[in-house]
Amino acid sequence: MIFQNQEKEKRAAELIIANKELVFQNEEKEKRAAELIIANKELIFQNQEKEKRAAELIIANQELLFQNQEKGKRAAELNMGNIELDFQDEEKEKRAAELAILLKELGFQDEEKGKRAAELIIAKKEVLVQQQEKDRRATAEAKKDEFFNIVSHEFKTPLTNIKAINQLLEKTANKADKTYAFILNANRSIKRLEKLIADLLDVTEINSDQIRLNIAEFNFADAMTNSIARVQQISAKHTIKLENTINRHYTGDQSRIEQVLINLLNNAIKFSPDADTVIVKAKVVSGSIVVVVEDFGIGLVKEDIEQLFQRFYRVQKTAMQYQGIGLGLYIASEIIKKHHGKFTIESEPGKGSSFRFSLPLNPPLK
């Protein structure tokens, strides 16, 4: 028991010493922590001072840079001032030279005025000659139209007699006889002459502004079907396809509109010998009736398209190959103009042509 008590007292004494040691160590740790806090504050202060010095250096550098730039500007301004002075001296010399040239130019202009005056006299004479030429051509055109008109009317009576005789021969002839083919051929020739005379009369009326329209309301679809039926009767090889039509009334000259369509259809058939189809389309676009006749024939080049509506114009490459005197499209275009419409053509050689005319609905026709 005594031994155990002694051991307990030793242990108690050791614990007291150990506690004192721990207290001492804790005090040392607190001292070190306080020193670290002070050291950190010192470091933060030093870094702040360094940043201030760096900012001050940046400002100082910027100030130096600005001063150098200002010096450069001043030097450049001085240089520009010197250049400007040199330029002004050069300009003065140029002005002196220009004045000298101007004096020569004034002298030259006086000479030119004299020349222009002489040229004006010549130009006036030229205008007078041109006017006289225009008057001569107008007179010649008037005489030509008068001649066409007289000849056409003179041809009509004998041609009517020939037609009546030929029709009588056609009715009485034996269809099995060889002469019947000649009678039919003569009948076709008579129809060609009738068409030619009608075209010549139309041209003379157009040129004298005497062509008149029989204005009335009609069903536009009827005009299209009538025209297609008349042409289809005389063309067994080609099929005329009416893709779409316009079943509505239009105010105009039905006979003249049909004349335009028949002309376009005949041309489409004539100039597409290797094709077998002609397409006709019609629709209303932006308040106008638009009619398109499309073939798949020989086509046209741009140079011919631009002149196609001129009187007596014929395409040179095909003039000898295809019959006609170049009046059909001229007459057709004038009829469309009378209806306040217009023509357009799209074509490509070897691929065919598309003739398109438009007629405004309810046009202000007289």
249 shares its domain with 127: no
269 shares its domain with 348: yes
The answer as to whether 180 is a domain residue is no
pLDDT number for residue 282: 94
| Alpha-carbon distance values, 98 to 4, 84, 109 (Å) | 135, 20, 15
The answer as to whether 11 is a domain residue is yes
pTM to 2 decimal places: 0.54
> Which residues, at least 6 apart from 272, have a Cβ–Cβ distance to it below 8 Å?
238, 278, 295, 296, 297, 298, 352
The answer as to whether 179 is a domain residue is no
Of 73-87, 153-167, 234-248, 263-277, the poorest mean pLDDT is in: 153-167
249-252 and 239-244 beta bridge pairing: unpaired
- Joined together, the tokens standing for residue 103 give 């004096």
136 shares its domain with 8: yes
The answer as to whether 171 is a domain residue is no
In b/e form, how buried is each residue of 81-109, taking b as 16+ CB within 10 angstroms? Answer: eeeeeeeeeeeeeeeeeeeeeeeeeeeee
pLDDT number for residue 320: 45
pLDDT number for residue 144: 62
Of 51-55, 110-114, 139-143, 237-241, the poorest mean pLDDT is in: 139-143
What is the pLDDT averaged over residues 311-324? 56
pLDDT number for residue 140: 61
The answer as to whether 172 is a domain residue is no
pLDDT number for residue 141: 63
Classified as helix, coil or strand, 59 is helix
Q: What is the CATH number of the domain that holds 270?
A: 3.30.565.10
**Total of domains in the chain:** 2
- Which of 150, 182, 202 is the C-terminal boundary of a domain? 150
Residue 319 has pLDDT above 50, yes or no: no
235 shares its domain with 328: yes
124 shares its domain with 223: no
CB distance 365 to 320 below 8 Å: no
What is the pLDDT averaged over residues 319-329? 62
The answer as to whether 160 is a domain residue is no
Residue 219 has pLDDT above 90, yes or no: yes
What is the per-residue pLDDT across 18-60, written as a single tens digit (0 to 9) for each?
889 988 998 899 999 898 899 889 888 988 989 899 888 889 8
pLDDT number for residue 362: 74
- CA 125 to chain CA centroid, Å, is 42
The answer as to whether 270 is a domain residue is yes
Residue 365 has pLDDT above 60, yes or no: no
- Which of 124, 150, 176 is the C-terminal boundary of a domain? 150
Give residue 154's pLDDT band: very low, low, confident or very high (50, 70, 90): low
What is the per-residue pLDDT across 249-260, written as a single tens digit (0 to 9) for each?
999 999 989 999
What is the pLDDT averaged over residues 77-95? 88
What's the domain range around 111? 1-150
* 264 vs 253: CA distance, rounded Å: 17
- Joined together, the tokens standing for residue 323 give 């019959």
The answer as to whether 156 is a domain residue is no
pLDDT number for residue 235: 83
80 shares its domain with 223: no
More confident residue, 229 or 140: 229
- Which of 150, 166, 198 is the C-terminal boundary of a domain? 150
Give residue 284's pLDDT band: very low, low, confident or very high (50, 70, 90): very high
| Alpha-carbon distance values, 8 to 19, 20, 36, 65 (Å) | 16, 18, 41, 84
